[in-house]
Amino acid sequence: MNLDALAQTAQEMVANNRGLLAADESTGTIKKRFDSINVESTETNRRDYRELLFRASGVGKYISGAILYDETIRQKSDDGTTLVDLLRAENILPGIKVDTGAKPLAGSENEKITEGLDGLRDRVAEYVELGATFAKWRAVITIGDHMPSTYCIHVNAHALARYAKICQEGGLVPIVEPEVLMDGSHDIGVCEWVTTKTLEAVYHELYQQDVQLEGTILKPNMVISGSDCPDQASTREIAAATVRVLKRCVPAAVPGVMFLSGGQSEEEATRNLNTMNAEQGPLPWALSYSYGRALQQSALKAWLGDAQNVPAAQAALLERARQNSAAAAGTYQGEAEGKAA
């Protein structure tokens, strides 16, 4: 294991206020995205859509890496260029989702365990050959009646650490993603408590399994009110609670925290990130973004499956990425400023 190389890659992922484009939607998830714009989810359409994102000229100024799905890391454009090479041409690091999804957790109804450890070492070796430099594994923690259980938090934290160790030994920087879902009617205080317990368990397991934190990235949820909570926390409350949890739980050795958007709107995800950086610093780690829908939604609506709309879709992606990069610097001025620019 080359810790210096892993640490250098992790630092590059969060350098210069850049973030990650999460383009690793599973086949089922991207079908839902395409259904929303009445586009058939064929392999060609999926490739064309992701290709337009990766070919957006100048996107590398704001995006340091892109998380790919297994299908995508193997695809080529019509001119024979691999999608991995398209990313590298924009100075974007290719990454790969390596888990096989969240499945029902035996012995705990309605909770999930993320699977994919079997055969992971061989998959990591193959993905490195295909050009990947980092990986992602997502664990899902649900808040509800008698949930999450200590059991659920423990087994997911243990699996995250096992994945991280295997990735580091294989040469990939692991993104550690324990997502406390925003679904539910709980308030921000409950989310703060659950997120704290989850991150405590995750870092305990990472230490136990000798994962080198300098060569990792954390991808957590923000601490927010449940989506059905009648009392929605303000942006400042979200920023303060999120940073409070990170300070309690995340060692300074971690180079960066790259938030998931978790169902927030594009503007919400950008505004909350900006408030953390503008009002809660200085901090021991870079706070940045690893957004899927919160980077892509405007581009998807502009594209509509029509090749003539590719320039408009790319412009929408670039604008969204620029705004999030500003939020990573704490200088985002809001949507009105973005439209004027």
Which residues form the catalytic set? 177, 219
Return the C-alpha torsion angle 307, 309, 312, 314, nearest 10: -30
Please state the φ and ψ torsions of residue 136, each to the nearest 5 degrees: -140, 140
Where in the chain does DSSP place strands (E)? 19-23, 63-68, 93-97, 102-104, 112-114, 134-141, 173-180, 217-218, 256-259, 286-291
Count of helix runs (H) and strand runs (E) in the chain: 13, 10
112-114 and 217-218 strand pairing: unpaired
Q: Which residues contact 207 (CB under 8 A, 6 or more apart)?
A: none
Q: In whole angstroms, what is the distance from residue 111 CA to residue 149 CA?
A: 8
Cβ atoms within 10 Å of 219's Cβ, excluding its own: 25
Opening angle at CA 162, ends 158 and 164, nearest 5: 115
